[in-house]
Amino acid sequence: MANHFSSSCFLHGPFHLFFLLSFTQIVPLTVQTFTGTYGINYGRIADNIPSPDEVVTLLRAAKIRNVRIYDADHSVLKAFSGTGFNLVIGLPNGQLQDMSSNADHAVDWVRDNVQLFLPGTPIRGIAIGNEVLGGNDYSLWGELLGAAKNIYNATKRLGLQIEITTANSFAVFSNSYPPSSCKFKDSVTQYMKPLLEFFSQIGSPFCLNAYPSLAYASDPEHIDLNYALFQPTKGIYDPKFRLHYDNMLDAQIDAAYSALENAGFNKMEVIVTETGWASNGDPNEAGANITNARTYNYNLRKRLAKRKGTPHRPKNIVKAYIFAVFNEDSKPGPSSEKNYGLFKADGSISYNIGFHGLNAAHSSRLSLKSISADSLATMVVSVCALMLLIL
């Protein structure tokens, strides 16, 4: 390109901006967006959950470092300032059309909701919409790529290193059993392939919302509950991959890898952006109960802690965001939608998988504050004296 323009074109005017925006689309991302293997989704469709500041305290006590939110609420962004979390914020579906059609609005959005809070608030990524492709709002399918490009170009124009992604549901696949048979639906492919080409250029992963609980609920007579819950089971065998699967989540992730391979994207990483199990549901929602929720989320923690890949991609360590922090009483839909939280609305645990609730976190934090200055000084002197005796 430099051979076709004079140096003045690079230094001034619209050609310079055009060159920069075009060039930045082929520069892979180097920023670290995920630490370890475990993250959580912080949904807030509720009128009775703790404040963002209390949520930060809760997540710190749980030692969860990776957090996704579904918008860019400023009270949340302020609460996470100085915390060191890896935070992914969301551009809601309702804003996709505007961001796709107006690059200046995209710059304004990034400036107001990302740059304004950096570097204090550790925003590592922006999720462009949620479960757009395969969803019922077909008007948004054609807007997703344009919105992703404009938001990405806006981050580069402002000099920011931010990962750009979008989360996909299993509705984008035509078949996922066995994993090797998985492909993108024909109706989705014309939108998915150019999106994947763009994400491949900028180094973004394929983000998957994977719910063994929903697969089980759709066919409880033929799907082994233990297979969905990481419990001992005979599992399944994939004859094409020649691989055995002992749990459904691994199979779902490898199904996504198969679809990517069939589309020509063999090197793209899959990250699970949502997975979980409802602790309560309607009578027709098979498996939605507290016992299964505890079993799934406890075993999921153990599986992620092993830091291993899937049978088909053993070198790609599985990373997953759990859904969700709280039960959300204002969510529409069946009862299960309101009961995915690891914590209840008051911050106490929904069931025990090794985390402490907000009350426990508060008590440990406040106990230190309750010590008077004189008492603290006495403690320090006593410790020093003891150390001198030992020495």
DSSP secondary-structure letter at 352? -
Q: Cis peptide before 119, with omega less than 30 degrees from 0?
A: yes
197 has catalytic annotation: no
Q: What is the distance between the alpha carbons of residues 169 and 91, in angstroms, rounded to a whole number?
A: 17
Compute the CA torsion angle 300, 303, 309, 313 (nearest 10 deg). -60
Q: What is the distance between the alpha carbons of residues 202 and 184, in angstroms, rounded to a whole number?
A: 21
Task: Provide the pairing of β-strand 243-245 with 236-238.
Answer: antiparallel
Place of tokens 């008007």: 139
Catalytic residue chosen out of the listed positions 131, 143, 285, 328: 131
Q: What is the distance between the alpha carbons of residues 94 and 71, in angstroms, rounded to a whole number?
A: 11
Distant-in-sequence, close-in-space partners of 341: CB < 8 Å, separation ≥ 6: 279, 324, 325, 326, 327, 328, 350
131 has catalytic annotation: yes
Catalytic residue chosen out of the listed positions 143, 163, 274, 328: 274
**Helical H segments across 203-262, by residue range:** 212-218, 225-228, 248-262
Active site positions, annotated: 131, 274
